[in-house]
Structure 1
Amino acid sequence: MTDRAATADHRPDDYTWLEGIHDETALDWVREQTERTEAELYDQDFASTVQRLKTVLDSVDRIPMVTKRGEYYYNFWRDAEHRLGVWRRTTWDSYLATSPVWETLLDLDAYAVAEGGDWHFAGSQLLRPADGQPHRRALIRLSPDGGDQVRVREFDLDGLTFPEDGFDLAVAKTNVSWIDADTLLVGSATTKENTTRSTYASTLRRLERGATLETAPTIYEVDREHVAAFGYFDSTPGFQRIVTTDAIDFYNSRTGVLRDGQHHIIDVPTDVEVSLHRQWLLLAPQTSWSHQGQLIPAGSLALAKLDSFVNDGSIERLLFTPDASTSLQSLSFTADFLLLTVLKDVAAEVRVIELTKNFDQTTLPLEDPMLSVSVAAVDDEDLEHPNDYWMTVTGFTTPTTLLRGTVGGANQLVKKSPERFEATDFEVTQHFARSVDGTRVPYFQVAARDLPLDGKNPVLMDGYGGFQHSMTPGYAPAMGTGWLSRKNTDGRRPVYVMTNIRGGGEYGPDWHRAALREKRHRAYEDFAAIAKDLVARGVTQRSHLAATGRSNGGLLMGNMITGYPTLFGAISCGVPLLDMQRYTHLAAGHSWIAEYGDPDIEADWKFLKTFSPVHRLTDQPHPQDDYPAWLIWTTTSDDRVGPSQARVMAAKMMELGIANVRYHEPDGGGHAGSTDNESTAKMLATSYEFLWRQVR
């Protein structure tokens, strides 16, 4: 018996015709199903919901979040007058004003007219100028359809034009950075030879102005079975270097530093996350690591000096060690301090570590544990304000506030978002459900203060449970407007529930690894346990309980409908993985083998099949009356998961005669599901309207 399972043996051949993304036969089916869904949903109530959501998304009094570069603060902005958006900048004094004066750098709507087609802003990168000089050049990332593939063009910040001799990289999955004014470091998946099985670049090339990418010398290359070759040029004065990463899989990688003609590989286990800042090397193991007689626990953070570690492996200090309730979420350097954002039972805490003395630690005071807090350095190279940080504070019913502080000083209120929906009568509470194996699983509930516990409240559960992604409280005007602001015929306002199931990062890497590969069912058991807890507490019952999830959360929804269909009245499943036998052969699916397993290995397929919704439909069937109403949606331009898995699942359910299955697939939007505020409003309204009409 071979170790490799023959893919063809368990391939759903009846539906492979739907895998041709732009195949006319497949698109005819897509158009028919999409039109059917829209004919049922797109009425006056739907139009009103779209308008309410678009009003929120287009509001001009939103906080324009900025990035400081030199003396300017840069922002990308979309509103009703700027469908595709404007890239712009302002000064600090202007930014503090109620109505800042912005200098428009690039108007994407005007650019679309000039180009004869839409391009969507996907980020920018400025060239470091000479000392005392302003920034003059940038690289602009432009997506043709909202997907992951981008065109990269050089932009002149003086003339506000794309120079004729400027860099212009063709549409592809590309990572790029400036080396100097005439040289780029480029990883771009443009040909079969420089593309991995995961659809990312396998090489890093040094591209000189005027040369072609095809002739540019390769300076780094990885095995095409690996996920990708990533890299960037660190232009920090005194620390100039190329940093390379061989992403072996989603959780294993090798990082190296290329300088002075020498390529130094950081010698650590491949599941240790590596990051560099100036002279510092940060090491975060995903599993416990014994190094030179010292145990560095999973989820901890160790600090070393790069040169010392390369020479003798010495580690300076263990800065963070988790306990059963805490996990490290993010970090940011100011000039003299390291800021750590930590979760304690999913409540935020910010720790400040002094780097110039004895690594002393303090904690920033926070007002409300039910709020999320994130911190990031403003500009550690700003000579006047080297230790300033941004602090963003937000909660389910608390509009986002942006503060600017200095380590050791007071915080300054910079901007505060106005309320977008009436939340006075709501309260946020945290609860814990017991999963099948006895694990306590937290979830947040946003509900009316006088919520009657009679099982009749419409509830929307939200979940993800994968890739160590943490679900944390945050002000979501669209959710507040599209869901919480409703009232049913009994005058009840609905409930929103955010789940913190295993597979996420709320309790660090162990919480994530508890639902990896063959243990995946724990994530689904956790979500089901929360659904049952809501019923047991009298919050709701099946007929009033809806659930939603996207991407990996879409896989979660697929396993709810095939494993726990009688718990829910309606489910919305967006841009989902659903066919775990084919996922590695579609779009970027090969890159997620470390998360799920490899269906081409027989031993892996045995457990993958047990959480592959496409296969569970017939392998573990339920009576047709058990299934809730189901909306499956994706986009034709999703080049990360791809639309075919959603198509196959919907087609198979319909063929099996399962009632109340609806499918929706617009063309543009990529994996995000939208490209502008109008398409975002329609995407959200489609999901909210479908769910509300089923469970209100």
Structure 2
Amino acid sequence: MKNYILILVALLGITQITQAQEDNYLWLEEVDGEKALEFVKNQNKATVEKLSAEKDYQDIYDRSLAIYNSKEKIAYPNVYGNYVFNFWKDKNHVRGIWRRCLLESYTSGNPVWETLLDIDALSKKDDIKWVYKGARGLYPDFNRFMVELSKGGGDAVVIKEFDINKKEFIENGFSMDESKGGASYIDKNTLIVTSDFGEGTMTTSGYPRQVKIWKRGTLLKDAQLIFEGNSTDVGAGGSVFRDGDKAFNVIYRGLTTFSTQLLVWNNNKLIQLDIPDDAETRGIINNQLLVQLKSDWTVNAKTYKIGTLLSLNFTELLKGNKEIEVVLVPNEFSSISGVRKTKNKLLVNLLTNVTSNLFIYSFNNGKWSDQKMNTPDLGAIYIADTNDFTDQFFFGFENLITPSTLYTADASKNTFKVYKSLPEYFDASKYEINQYKATSKDGTMIPYFMVSAKGVKKDSSNPTLVYAYGGFEISLLPYYLSTDGIAWLDKGGVYVLANLRGGGEFGPKWHQDGIKEKRQNVYDDLFAVSEGLIAKKITSPKHLGVMGGSNGGLLVGVAFTQRPDLYNAIVCEVPLLDMKRYNKLLAGASWMGEFGNPDIAEEWEYIKKYSPYHNLKEGVDYPEVFFGSSTRDDRVHPGHARKMVAKMNAMGYKTYYYENTEGGHAGSSTNEQSAKSNALIFSYLLMKLK
């Protein structure tokens, strides 16, 4: 076995050397390389000069920025005990403020906020472009938090302990250097932590593989190691599950993209829970561990179907026994898109034909029962926040032309009322939403939403933008277009939201039909939607564009390399494009469960057929593509977009490229950066498609 591994390593080394010899643009993978940054600077300059001169640019920028900075935005709640915490950005707080108010003050509709941490002031003091990434509080008083701050917006964070009452970081408190990882309180003097603990403690995906218990007053390097995964795992994490006054220290071992072992640190020993590795755990309530199945599971000769939400008696499970109750079995047209708990109730957000319904579940006498909430129809519901101390919670509703509305609700009474709605940023009365289905290559029906002017002319001339994602079991739900509305709909555009396979709209199988060797299904789904719009005479290839980011960036990269005849504009943001090297760049190895392993010949055989970087050809009439990226993206390497642009330019193709120097995978750190990105993208789309 050892000799076999050595031979395999040697062969992989040869593969990498051969590829390096073939790839003329590897130097663009040097994120902060002098030559690479000069390339970025020149590309940015040309793109901004051209697109900022377009007639709609300034109007889109100004109106977008006004929306991002609006005081009428909803201050979404994070409830901890008696307080609501919120992170807020506006024109006076460019990098934002972390603040809180009493829960009673918030629910009154006139919250009185106190600022806890000013990120602009901290950035100025430290001379670092800090980006707030979240905070985890000390239960049950929440007077201390472990605050996560990123340098420029990447996923790696510095974690420091913060005193809420003093509104300052605690001198000699818990503090962790920059790394991907996290920290959660077990009690006031104990954390469960993951981090880069030194050589050999990170996975090949770039995530921690060790979980430790860290006591106050000791050095991080001396923290107690309670779990260590393999270097080839995706990563490991630690957290605390709470069920009333009980707490359980939980370790996640990410084996692959979609398989995770769940372990419990109990009485100084690890217990691995005997549940499927590909199942998703959803917390504990009333001693019931909630588990959502991603494949059929047979226990004691009874088979529980894929997609089912189950609960297991947790104390019995720790002993190795399985006492299972069924919470919900979705049908072929539905999937579970959210599960949260209040003090006594379970909330389940059920997606049916890509629209949301909210159910309240109760556990009495060993059985689950449900009540449907009479929530708004034909849109997306999201559970904004819950509180372990009460059955009160918050949820939101929106669709493509209906402004986001936040509701306060009581799960024990099955009641809710409007808390606050966004203003109408564009006149929705001029537009209508229709849901259609397109027939994909293999006969599968692919749903999509279309927003257009009422009575839209079917003369094949409407500028039309398709937005899609199609991956990682992420459901693409209708969302209020706000800035897209003023930048696209009000400029005469038609907007389409496509629900491709690879997503989670119809449950785990919908996702599984679009991964690895079945990946081409996702791209065929997009082409089917595009051809459907053309067949309806809504648009034509001259007026049709497509936009996607991250995995969606790969999607649109495939779209223009496989079907350049279908599109005249492509917006490709923070994309994966070099699918031969994606697993060697930043977090790429963690996605091999989705795409496959390009270092395995059989898997590269299907990956290479769609890898955009490898399918570029000379002499093809490609559309002029807009690529967007971020220097500080430490999830999807900016080298993907950089190399694609360089290769296309060398072949004589015109491209547009804009790389924000901060922002991480989100692309922007400030409202001004977001407004600029929006103005560049929609100026490009209007230039190409009108």
With normalisation by structure 1, the TM-score equals 0.94
Conservation of the 8 A alpha-carbon contact between 2:295 and 2:306: yes
Aligned to 1:665: 659
Aligned to 1:218: 225
Aligned to 2:332: 324
Asked if 1:127 corresponds to 2:131, the answer is no
Aligned to 2:544: 545
Following the alignment from structure 1 to structure 2, what is the Cα–Cα distance between the partners of residues 457 and 676?
A: 33
Asked if 1:394 corresponds to 2:391, the answer is no
User: Cα distance 1:285–1:235, how it changes in 2: closer, same or farther (>3 A)?
Assistant: closer
The SS at the match of 1:248 is strand
Aligned to 1:640: 635
Asked if 1:169 corresponds to 2:166, the answer is no
Following the alignment from structure 1 to structure 2, what is the Cα–Cα distance between the partners of residues 377 and 303?
A: 22
Q: CA deviation at 1:176?
A: 1.0
Deviations 1:561-603 (A, max 9, x none): 1001110010010000000000011010000000000111111
Following the alignment from structure 2 to structure 1, what is the Cα–Cα distance between the partners of residues 129 and 37?
A: 22
Conservation of the 8 A alpha-carbon contact between 1:331 and 1:376: no
The one-letter code matched in structure 2 to 1:127 is L
Q: CA deviation at 1:99?
A: 4.4
Conservation of the 8 A alpha-carbon contact between 2:212 and 2:225: yes
Following the alignment from structure 1 to structure 2, what is the Cα–Cα distance between the partners of residues 380 and 182?
A: 22
The one-letter code matched in structure 2 to 1:450 is G
Aligned to 1:361: 370
Asked if 1:115 corresponds to 2:126, the answer is yes
Q: Aligned match of 2:216 in 209, 213, 223?
A: 209
More displaced, 324-333 or 527-536?
A: 324-333
Aligned to 1:19: 29
Conservation of the 8 A alpha-carbon contact between 2:381 and 2:396: yes
Conservation of the 8 A alpha-carbon contact between 1:399 and 1:417: yes
Asked if 1:52 corresponds to 2:47, the answer is no
Following the alignment from structure 1 to structure 2, what is the Cα–Cα distance between the partners of residues 657 and 514?
A: 37
Q: CA deviation at 1:167?
A: 1.6
Q: Aligned match of 1:653 in 648, 652, 664?
A: 648
Deviations 1:61-119 (A, max 9, x none): 11100111121111110001100111111123432455432111111112122222321
Q: CA deviation at 1:511?
A: 0.4
Segments of structure 1 that go 5 or more residues without pairing to the other structure are: 487-492
Conservation of the 8 A alpha-carbon contact between 1:284 and 1:302: yes
User: Cα distance 1:557–1:645, how it changes in 2: closer, same or farther (>3 A)?
Assistant: same
In percent, how many aligned pairs have the same letter?
Answer: 33
Following the alignment from structure 2 to structure 1, what is the Cα–Cα distance between the partners of residues 414 and 276?
A: 39
Q: CA deviation at 1:470?
A: 0.3
Q: Aligned match of 1:346 in 344, 354, 362?
A: 354
Q: Aligned match of 1:76 in 77, 83, 87?
A: 87
Q: CA deviation at 1:362?
A: 2.2
Deviations 1:633-670 (A, max 9, x none): 10111100110011111111111122x31221121111
Aligned to 1:273: 280
The one-letter code matched in structure 1 to 2:138 is L
Conservation of the 8 A alpha-carbon contact between 1:172 and 1:190: no
The one-letter code matched in structure 1 to 2:477 is T
More displaced, 99-108 or 525-534?
A: 99-108
The one-letter code matched in structure 1 to 2:399 is G
The SS at the match of 1:460 is strand
Conservation of the 8 A alpha-carbon contact between 2:159 and 2:178: yes
Aligned to 2:103: 92
Following the alignment from structure 2 to structure 1, what is the Cα–Cα distance between the partners of residues 222 and 414?
A: 53
The one-letter code matched in structure 2 to 1:438 is G
Q: CA deviation at 1:287?
A: 1.5
Asked if 1:481 corresponds to 2:491, the answer is no
The one-letter code matched in structure 2 to 1:344 is T
Following the alignment from structure 2 to structure 1, what is the Cα–Cα distance between the partners of residues 302 and 319?
A: 18
Following the alignment from structure 1 to structure 2, what is the Cα–Cα distance between the partners of residues 286 and 402?
A: 31
Conservation of the 8 A alpha-carbon contact between 1:377 and 1:388: no
Following the alignment from structure 1 to structure 2, what is the Cα–Cα distance between the partners of residues 102 and 530?
A: 47
The one-letter code matched in structure 2 to 1:403 is Y
Following the alignment from structure 2 to structure 1, what is the Cα–Cα distance between the partners of residues 182 and 587?
A: 15
Give the alignment's Cα RMSD to 1 decimal: 1.7
Segments of structure 2 that go 5 or more residues without pairing to the other structure are: none
Aligned to 1:490: none
The SS at the match of 2:222 is coil
The SS at the match of 1:467 is coil
Deviations 1:377-406 (A, max 9, x none): 63132xxxx322212111111111111122
Conservation of the 8 A alpha-carbon contact between 2:333 and 2:506: yes
The SS at the match of 2:616 is helix
Aligned to 1:489: none
Asked if 1:446 corresponds to 2:451, the answer is yes
The SS at the match of 1:650 is helix
Conservation of the 8 A alpha-carbon contact between 1:334 and 1:377: no
Following the alignment from structure 1 to structure 2, what is the Cα–Cα distance between the partners of residues 473 and 33?
A: 34
How many equivalent residue pairs? 676
Aligned to 2:427: 422
More displaced, 308-317 or 65-74?
A: 308-317
Q: CA deviation at 1:472?
A: 0.6
Conservation of the 8 A alpha-carbon contact between 1:202 and 1:221: yes
Aligned to 2:189: 182
The one-letter code matched in structure 2 to 1:38 is V
Aligned to 2:672: 678
Conservation of the 8 A alpha-carbon contact between 2:244 and 2:388: no
User: Cα distance 1:347–1:151, how it changes in 2: closer, same or farther (>3 A)?
Assistant: same
More displaced, 558-567 or 411-420?
A: 411-420
Q: Aligned match of 1:39 in 49, 54, 57?
A: 49
Following the alignment from structure 1 to structure 2, what is the Cα–Cα distance between the partners of residues 97 and 307?
A: 40
The SS at the match of 2:446 is strand
Q: CA deviation at 1:275?
A: 3.5
Matches within 5 A, 1:529-678: 529-618=528-617, 623-624=619-620, 626-658=621-653, 660-678=654-672
Aligned to 2:17: 8
The SS at the match of 2:425 is coil
